[in-house]
């Protein structure tokens, strides 16, 4: 279909897509937020469902002709509930930051205090950074990692919570390589009377694959993107408890349904019509994640990340927190005399994609930070095992050492292509 139709209609776009397909096929993807969807997920996203408008929810739409869409959305909801064990889920959010915005909109008012992880300590822009809507609209106070261990000190989190009395405590990250103590976060929130929100965007697939603990049994609200380790479309969902909360409504404190407030926060609060073709892709991804082989995949992602961290440290690199419990590691590249940006550029020349990253207490600027963030979700999808991952790590080291030697980098590029051919992206 793609070749016979798109190539004829728009050969320029077709050729660009083919270039990207070749880049993905013969390159190694180590960006921790990226992965490869299955062909089935892509087929769902490229389906006729993109033609439909369906503002509202199942059985309560603002457009006619949604009986089939209702069937699809119900199936996606049921699969998600089974996968994560959640009481309520809204599968309509378009992306991760809008999902977080919908939660804030549902349970907070502008100026309310929220406790979240600082960006350069592993948090996310939407967790309260001053340049982001979250930091502009809400009063975020932030916790950090310990300078010596690179880990979150839960006693310090408790101290901040007791002092600041936030309305919402947010646990989640985009560049933190250790498991979060969900139960302890919940205990601290209960102590200060705060709601709990977990952003599991990076580790949702590891949770779905039962490789790490889930916050769903403990937390009031859980948001996640549906790509990254979950291997679904570029989109998001919001899960929550089916319980009541206290909320200010027209100047009066009232008991309201958390699930209903979340749904209203998504629609009509933050967005209009859902993307039904993407929601169908989520349904497919949930089904795939419910299969036994997905649990094997999730465990292998962590094994590969731990192999990469171990090999990095053997080669003399400083890995933040000295290891990982999940799919990613953050490496202080200044331990080898280069900046994060220099390392990213050198790796890109040989066909390895990664993302520069700040490190905790980073003395360098965000656009040229000290570190890089590396992730193993995508290479594990391709079938890379622990020895393959160690080989990739050794290649990275050679690449960094040869960053100014174009001839040496060209030879390394040939090795990368050969390694990728051993693990074809779509068999």
Q: Would you say 423 is a known binding-site residue? A: no
The residues carrying an active-site annotation are 53, 55, 199, 225, 228, 234
Task: Transcribe 316-384 into DSSP letters.
Answer: T-EEGGGS-SSSEEEEEGGGGT--HHHHHHHHHHTTEE-EEE--TT--S-TTS-SEEEEE-HHHHHHT-
Q: Do the beta carbons of residue 339 and residue 348 sit within 8 Å?
A: no
What's the Cα-to-Cα distance from 354 to each of 264, 307, 350, 357, rounded to whole Å? 37, 17, 12, 9
Q: Would you say 111 is a known binding-site residue? A: no
Q: Where are the beta strands (DSSP E) in 134-226?
A: 139-143, 168-172, 195-199, 221-225
CA 108, 112, 115: angle at the middle one, nearest 5?
100
Q: Do the beta carbons of residue 183 and residue 215 sit within 8 Å?
A: no
Q: What is the distance between the alpha carbons of residues 301 and 306, in angstroms, rounded to a whole number?
A: 9
Q: What is the distance between the alpha carbons of residues 195 and 166, in angstroms, rounded to a whole number?
A: 9
Q: Would you say 287 is a known binding-site residue? A: no
Q: Would you say 125 is a known binding-site residue? A: yes
Closest of 378, 381, 376, 339 to residue 359, by C-alpha: 339
Burial of 82-107, coded b for 16+ CB within 10 Å and e otherwise, reads: ebbebebbbbbbbbbbbbbbbbbbbb
Q: What is the distance between the alpha carbons of residues 156 and 252, in angstroms, rounded to a whole number?
A: 34
Residue 415 makes CB contacts below 8 A (sequence gap 6+) with: 395
Residue 330 makes CB contacts below 8 A (sequence gap 6+) with: 122, 175, 176, 177, 319, 320, 321, 357, 359, 371, 372, 373, 374
Q: DSSP state, 139? A: E
Q: Give me Rg for the CA atoms of the chain.
A: 22
Output phi, psi for 349, to 5 deg: -65, -25
What residues are designated binding site?
119, 123-125
Annotated binding site for (6S)-5,6,7,8-tetrahydrofolate: 119, 123-125
């Amino acid at each position: 279909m793609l070749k016979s139709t798109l190539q004829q209609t728009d050969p320029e776009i077709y050729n660009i897509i083919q270039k990207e397909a070749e880049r993905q096929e013969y390159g190694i993807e180590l960006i921790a937020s990226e992965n490869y969807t299955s062909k089935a997920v892509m087929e769902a996203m490229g389906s006729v469902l993109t033609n439909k408008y369906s503002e509202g929810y199942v059985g309560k739409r603002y457009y006619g002709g949604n009986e089939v869409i209702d069937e699809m959305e119900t199936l996606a909801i049921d699969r998600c509930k089974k996968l994560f064990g959640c009481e309520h889920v809204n599968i309509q959010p378009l992306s991760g930051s809008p999902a977080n915005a919908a939660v804030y909109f549902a349970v907070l008012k502008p100026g309310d205090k929220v406790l979240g992880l600082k960006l350069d300590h592993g948090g996310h822009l939407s967790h309260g950074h001053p340049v982001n809507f979250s930091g502009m609209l809400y009063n975020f106070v932030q916790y950090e990692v310990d300078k010596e261990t690179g880990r979150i000190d839960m006693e310090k989190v408790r101290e901040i919570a007791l002092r600041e009395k936030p309305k919402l405590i947010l646990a989640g990250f985009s560049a933190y390589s250790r498991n979060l103590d969900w139960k302890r976060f919940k205990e601290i929130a209960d102590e200060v009377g705060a709601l709990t929100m977990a952003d599991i965007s990076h580790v949702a697939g590891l949770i779905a694959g039962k490789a790490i603990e889930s916050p769903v049994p403990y937390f009031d609200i859980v948001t996640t993107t549906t790509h990254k380790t979950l291997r679904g479309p570029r989109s998001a969902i919001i899960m929550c408890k089916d319980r009541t909360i206290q909320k200010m409504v027209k100047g009066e404190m009232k008991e309201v349904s958390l699930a209903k407030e979340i749904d209203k926060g998504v629609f009509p609060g933050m967005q209009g019509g859902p993307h039904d073709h993407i929601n169908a892709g989520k349904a497919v991804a949930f089904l795939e994640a419910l299969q036994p082989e997905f649990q094997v995949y999730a465990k292998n992602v962590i094994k590969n990340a731990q192999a990469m961290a171990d090999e990095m440290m053997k080669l003399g690199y400083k890995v933040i927190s000295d290891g990982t419990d999940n799919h990613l590691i953050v490496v202080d590249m200044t331990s080898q005399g280069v900046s994060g940006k220099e390392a990213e550029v050198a790796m890109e020349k040989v066909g390895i994609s990664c993302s520069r990253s700040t490190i905790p207490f980073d003395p360098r600027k965000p656009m040229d930070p000290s570190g890089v963030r590396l992730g193993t979700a995508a290479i594990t999808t391709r079938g890379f095992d622990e020895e393959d991952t160690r080989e990739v790590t050794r290649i990275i080291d050679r690449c960094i050492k040869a960053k100014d030697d174009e001839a040496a980098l060209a030879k390394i590029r040939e090795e990368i292509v050969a390694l990728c051919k051993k693990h074809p992206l779509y068999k």
